[in-house]
Structure 1
Amino acid sequence: MPSIDEVDEIILRELSKNGRATLTELSRKVGLTPAAIKNRVEKLEKLGVIKGYSAIIDHSFLGEFLTALIEIELADPESDELSKLIRPILKLENIKDVYKKTGEFQLTIRATFRDVDSLNEFLKKIRRDYLKNMARRIKVSIILENFKEGGVTLL
């Protein structure tokens, strides 16, 4: 794991709250020059500590009115085939997050959809085309309201 110091940690916390924070804003928080902040941010990017930047958007403006958590119980959670089968799923635009986790359902997908019909089509497609016989059970929960996303409070 890359080594970071307290200043790097402050920079990371600030960027996680506001990925568009300027070098000047960060320098005020940390007490270093913008040039020093730039060097640190570039170092954190090269080390892979900062994995990317993204915007938190309202998906309804893209015609995606439904967000679902799709939990999958895997027949064999330790299978070497899993990562090969998941790679194409990761490329689907409506997939927002994919987690392998402990518990009864070892895979969780957060995705957005136009409507229930498109969700149902997606479920059929991942079972048929991607997961094949890897999924023992699939459980779906619909998100009714989102209060915080990507570290940003939405209320």
Structure 2
Amino acid sequence: MANKIDEIDMKIIKLLSQNARMTYKELADKLKTTRQRISRRMNKLEKLGVIQKYTAIPNYEKLGYTYLILGITLRAGSDVDEIIEKLQNIECVKIIQKAIGSHNLVVHIIAPHDMKRIQDIINEISKAIPGIDHMDITFITETTKIEFF
């Protein structure tokens, strides 16, 4: 099994990023190949860690939740990995990303539609991160496009 990612692999990734529920047969039909070849390629992509997860993207608003993003800037010398470990244990934290630029960390949170609860969550996160220099909070009001590839 070659470790090289080729044009067919890239097409598979793009199709799955649009619809992760596509079957091997549907992928094979679209790419004019066989299910067995798709199966082998999928195994390769998963083994290489190119495909990390298959997931659904819920509409948080319809579920009664608020989606917010924290841009966190840390003081120099802060242990980013230690902070990430602490954030991973907070239930409402759904995505943690290391970043370069204005912020060291970008943290995605799903919280109930209750401003007091959101304030409590932000306070909990602030206490969990001893090296915060600055934190920006952005409330996501609508997602108009999600495209991963």
- TM-score, normalised with respect to structure 1: 0.85
How large is the RMSD of aligned CA atoms in angstroms?
1.9
In the other structure, the counterpart of 2:140 is 143
Unmatched segments (≥5 aa) in structure 2: none
Give the CA deviation at 1:6.
0.8
- Cα deviation 1:47-66 (Å, max 9, x = unaligned): 101001111112245442x1
Give the CA deviation at 1:21.
0.5
- Cα deviation 1:61-106 (Å, max 9, x = unaligned): 5442x11111111102x64x21122123124332232222122222
- Sequence identity, in percent? 29
- Structure 1 residues 62 and 89, CA gap change in structure 2 (3 angstroms): farther
For residues 1-155 of structure 1, the aligned pairs below 5 Å read 2-60=3-61, 62-64=63-65, 66-76=66-76, 79=78, 81-114=79-112, 115-128=114-127, 130-132=128-130, 134-149=131-146, 151=148
Give the CA deviation at 1:26.
0.3
- Cα deviation 1:24-44 (Å, max 9, x = unaligned): 110012111111101110111
After the TM superposition, which parts of structure 1 deviate over 4 Å for at least 4 consecutive aligned residues?
none
Q: Tell me, yes or no, if the aligned pair for 1:56 and 1:149 is still in contact at 8 Å.
A: no
Aligned residue pairs total 146
